[in-house]
Amino acid sequence: MTPTILFVPGYWEGPVPFERVITLLISQGYPTEITELVSTGTTSPGNPSMLDDIAGIRLAVQKLVEEDEKDVILVVHSIAGMLGPCAIEGLGSKARSDAGLKGGVRKIVFLAALVTPEGFTHAPLPFFEYDGGARYCKTPEKLLFNDLDAVAAEKWVKVLKPQPAAGWDDTVTYSGWKEVPSVYLVCEKDAIIPEAMQLGFAQLAGSQVVRCNAGHMVQISMPEKVAEVVKAAAEEN
């Protein structure tokens, strides 16, 4: 059975930056879906929290795995590398097979992603910039879009949405990569998560490492490479 690809965006981005990759995968016969952090586009107070984001990802995975009995390749970008694996407890292929159930998350693909162990507590990061109840990325044209030309970078900066200023200082309770095999696409020009840090994350997760010469938003600058890595993960047993 061809697995379903489920993308989980990181901070600020939502689904739009993934449209080209999704089109490529669908055109090659891969059922592909995308969810969104429920906190993206909201501001404090009264915003969804980090735990709400994890719960939202879990609902998207459960729909595919439990209701539809699909095999899933979970593709997580940036901060979603911390959230996605936390959301899949009991939903991995092995755990479900051991329980006599069909479907499950077969593999995780990390795209320039944060990988954290159980017990890790999220805290403000040096590239955060606050404006009232909103949290943005400082100088996104330099940190997120540094491998795009100035015109393209300006276009994509306008697509970014706010994250809420509060509700994100919570703790990771489960690390799905301990049970689900993974691939890590290291983006060598990433200006927000340095290459060496990405390699450390890949080592922590025991991921197969693939490299490319992209910045942090590899799904925009190198969609063909992302599609290639995801397809390879989907084709492996």
Position 237 scores a pLDDT of: 67
**Domain 4-235 belongs to what architecture?**
3-Layer(aba) Sandwich (3.40)
Place of tokens 């586009």: 41
**Is 28 within 8 Å of 1 (Cβ atoms)?**
no
Alpha-carbon span 190 to 193, nearest angstrom: 6
Q: What is the pTM of this model?
A: 0.97
Instruction: Assign 154 a pLDDT band (cuts: 50, 70, 90).
Output: very high
**Is 163 within 8 Å of 40 (Cβ atoms)?**
yes
Token reading at 129: 């910039």
Q: Is the pLDDT of residue 163 over 80?
A: yes
Q: Is the pLDDT of residue 79 over 90?
A: yes
DSSP assignment of 97-157? HHTT---EEEEEEEES-----TT-B----TTEEEETTEEEESSHHHHTSTTS-HHHHHHHH
Alpha-carbon span 40 to 12, nearest angstrom: 6
Peptide bond into 31 cis (omega under 30): no
Delimit the domains of the chain by residue range.
Answer: 4-235
The arithmetic mean of pLDDT across residues 106-125, rounded, is 96
Token reading at 196: 């060496």
Torsion angle of the four alpha carbons 54, 58, 60, 66, in this order, in degrees rounded to the nearest 10: 180
Position 117 scores a pLDDT of: 96
| pLDDT, averaged across the chain | 97
DSSP assignment of 155-196? HHHTT---EESSS---B----GGGTS-EEEEEETT-SSS-HH
